[in-house]
Amino acid sequence: MICLGNYARHLYTLAVLSTRPPKMGRPYQLKEGQSRLFHALPSGLEMEFIFQKGIQSQRYPFEESSRSVQIKEKNPPLVFVHGSFHAAWCWAEHWLPFFSRSGFDCYAVSLLGQGESDAPLGSAAGTLQTHADNVANFIAKEVRSPPVLLGHSFGGLIVQSYISDMINGQFSGSSNPKLAGAVLVCSVPPSGNSGLAWRYLFSKPVAAIKVTLSLAAKGFATFLPLFKETFFSKEMDDHLTQSYQELMKESSRMSLFDLKKLNASLPVRSVPKSSVNILIVGASNDFIVDNEGLCETAKFYGVTPICIEGVAHDIMLDCSWEKGARVILSWLDGLNGHSL
């Protein structure tokens, strides 16, 4: 579906729509206004992204149209980074349409080896550094102004690496694209997931076994009740849950990280407090990232986290997905336009 309009014609100079056969057996069906494009990385591999253009905000119905347009033009683009077993589609289901309707241009990337993106050689899709570098290259080439970078779960850890590399000037190549802000959503903390695993082992041994079976052994792909408990609320519709299970199986053709190598590279290098506009959001029913993990991340950046009640780990797909979206939208409305 090609619905980019004049505003986004610049995408065609860099990203290309592809007619190549899909890598996912059952590709995600885009919603109205969304386009699937591919960004060519310096390695020659192509990274899928789904784009949805921001439309004039309807939140100011009694103001003059020129004022609404001015507000919309000040909105930073949003770039979404998924976590393990997901791809760009997880944002396209609800949050891309929501933020697009609020006047934000939205880009959701599929990291290498995930979704419709190319897969590199090796047993893992990349390292924390290479994933952050690829996102930086994407932003430098495809996004017209400093964006807000949003990361979920292990995608949140990639965003943390991005922030560290940006502040410390450590991106590979000559580009060092700046951000207008960052949002960490149910993010793995800067020390990685080992602390989470040990806490679960001693305080919630049954939950620890379930998480291990679901994620490390990929039991989520074959056992629907375990999949639902891992990612979603009890109230989630089973038919919809099963459709997401199929998409996750298709999305994760290879592991996002080699976890042993990943843990050896952690914790993420710290940055000065207040060096980035940052929002940290957790979920009260998160089966993967506990409250201690949420607080660790918040303390690392010197901010107060927001824990949203009644939602599970996949906050952007859960049956109450609007709760997280509205919290983030309120924070975005408060940004003063400052770019790093």
Rounded (10°) angle between helices 128-142 and 154-168 = 70
Instruction: Supply 48's token pair.
Output: 């899928």
State the virtual CA torsion across 88, 146, 3, 12 in degrees, nearest 10.
-100
Cis peptide before 267 (omega within 30 of 0): yes
pLDDT recorded at residue 16: 52
What string of DSSP letters covers 182-211? Answer: EEEESPPPTT-SHHHHHHHHHH-HHHHHHH
For the stretch 182-238, pLDDT in tens is 999 999 999 988 776 656 655 666 666 666 665 665 767 777 888 899 999 999 999
Query: How many Cα atoms within 13 Å fall on the side-chain side of residue 72?
Result: 24
Q: Residue holding tokens 């004039």?
A: 56
Query: CA angle at residue 25 from 21 to 27, to 5 degrees?
Result: 75
Contact 34, 80 (CB under 8 A): no
Say how far apart CA 128 and CA 158 lie, in whole Å: 6
More confident position, 311 or 4: 311
pLDDT of 338 higher than 60: no
pLDDT of 298 higher than 80: yes
Sequence-separated (6 or more) residues with CB below 8 Å from residue 116: 22, 23, 24, 27, 36, 38, 48, 87, 88, 110
For the stretch 95-144, pLDDT in tens is 999 999 999 999 999 999 999 999 999 999 999 999 999 999 999 999 98
Strands of the sheet with 106-109, listed across from one edge? 34-40, 46-52, 106-109, 78-81, 148-152, 181-185, 278-283, 306-308
Residue-averaged pLDDT of the chain: 85
Contact 257, 152 (CB under 8 A): no
First to last CA, the chain: 34
Say how far apart CA 59 and CA 66 lie, in whole Å: 14
The mean-pLDDT minimum among 58-67, 239-248, 317-326 falls in 58-67
Distance of CA 162 to the CA centre of its chain: 13
| Residue 272 DSSP SS3 | coil
Say how far apart CA 8 and CA 53 lie, in whole Å: 8
Question: Which residues are bridge partners to 79 per DSSP?
Answer: 107, 149
Q: Average pLDDT in the 251-263 region?
A: 89
The mean-pLDDT minimum among 154-163, 169-178, 196-205 falls in 196-205
pLDDT recorded at residue 10: 43
Beta strands in the chain (DSSP E): 34-40, 46-52, 78-81, 106-109, 148-152, 181-185, 278-283, 306-308
pLDDT recorded at residue 143: 95
Q: How confident is the model at residue 1 (pLDDT cuts 50, 70, 90)?
A: very low
54-78 per-residue burial string, b: 16 or more CB within 10 A, e: under 16: bbebeeeeeeeeeebeebbeebbbb
Query: CA angle at residue 52 from 179 to 74, to 5 degrees?
Result: 45
For the stretch 14-29, pLDDT in tens is 455 556 788 888 889 9
What string of DSSP letters covers 297-339? Answer: HHHHHT---EEETT--S-TTTSTTHHHHHHHHHHHHHH--S--
Say how far apart CA 152 and CA 68 lie, in whole Å: 30
